Amino acid sequence: MKKFALRSLVAAAALAASTSVSAANDGSNGLTSQGDLLITLEIDQLISIGGLDDIVLAQDPTTLQYTGVSDFCVGGLATTNYDVTLAGSGSTFELTDGGSGGDPVPYSVSYDHDNDASDGTVATHNDPISYTSVTLNDLGCTGAGGTGNTNNAQILISVAPSDIPNNAAADYTDTLTVTVAAK
């Protein structure tokens, strides 16, 4: 009997919760009738990236460090806060030679929510970097890399000369996945 009473109470509470949300008021019969209803706009926080370009690392003749940059756009709707997560195709940031027998080459990644390369945050593989109260471009990044919205983010890749193995193959690659999440 107690189980039945408990189930009945839970069912009644669920019914009350689902029907009490409505704030509509019907009109009464007459020459005119007036009613009202509640309008609710539920806005999802959305985010997008656009304008990513492949990076070819070039060696600086002075430092001998290999570096490259990709400027791109982060756009959003109803948010100024987001996380960005950067992950290579393996469990670390590592360039491989496609099976030619060369040792893998570690690389570092920095992310900058502007494109001046002055204050990027060094990324940890697959660990989010948080940004709050930043300016985002239009959702969809229309015109990223050209007219319209401008690029407002940057990925910087670098390889130290000391990380280049003695048995280095000619070409090393990795796929970097960039994930942005509104919050």
Question: Residue 183 and residue 174: Cα distance in Å, rounded?
Answer: 29
Position 22 scores a pLDDT of: 64
Query: What pLDDT is recorded for position 143?
Result: 58
Q: How far apart are CA 128 and CA 130, in angstroms?
A: 6
**Cα–Cα distance for residue pair 68/95, rounded to 1 Å:** 14
CA distance 61 to 102: 24
Which pLDDT score is estimated for 117? 65
Burial of 47 (0-12, 13-18, 19+ CB in 10 A): buried
Phi, psi for 75 (deg, rounded to 5)? -115, 155
Taking CA atoms, 181 is separated from 86, 109, 111, 132, 139, in Å, by 12, 19, 15, 12, 13
Which residues of the chain, if any, have pLDDT below 50? Answer: 1-20, 146
Query: pTM, whole model, 2 decimals?
Result: 0.78
Sequence spans of domains, the chain: 47-182
pLDDT of residue 59: 94
Please state which architecture CATH assigns to domain 47-182: Sandwich (2.60)
Concatenated DSSP letters of the chain = -HHHHHHHHHHHHHHHHHHTT---BPPPSSSS---B---------EEEEE-------EE-TTT--EEEEEEEEEEEES-S-EEEEEE-SSSSSEEB-SSSSPPPEE-EEEEESSSSSSSPEEPPTT--EEE-S---B-TT-TTTTSSSSPP-EEEEEEE-GGGS-TT--S--B---EEEEEE-
Question: Considering Cα of 164, then 166, then 169, then 175, what sign does the dihedral take?
Answer: negative
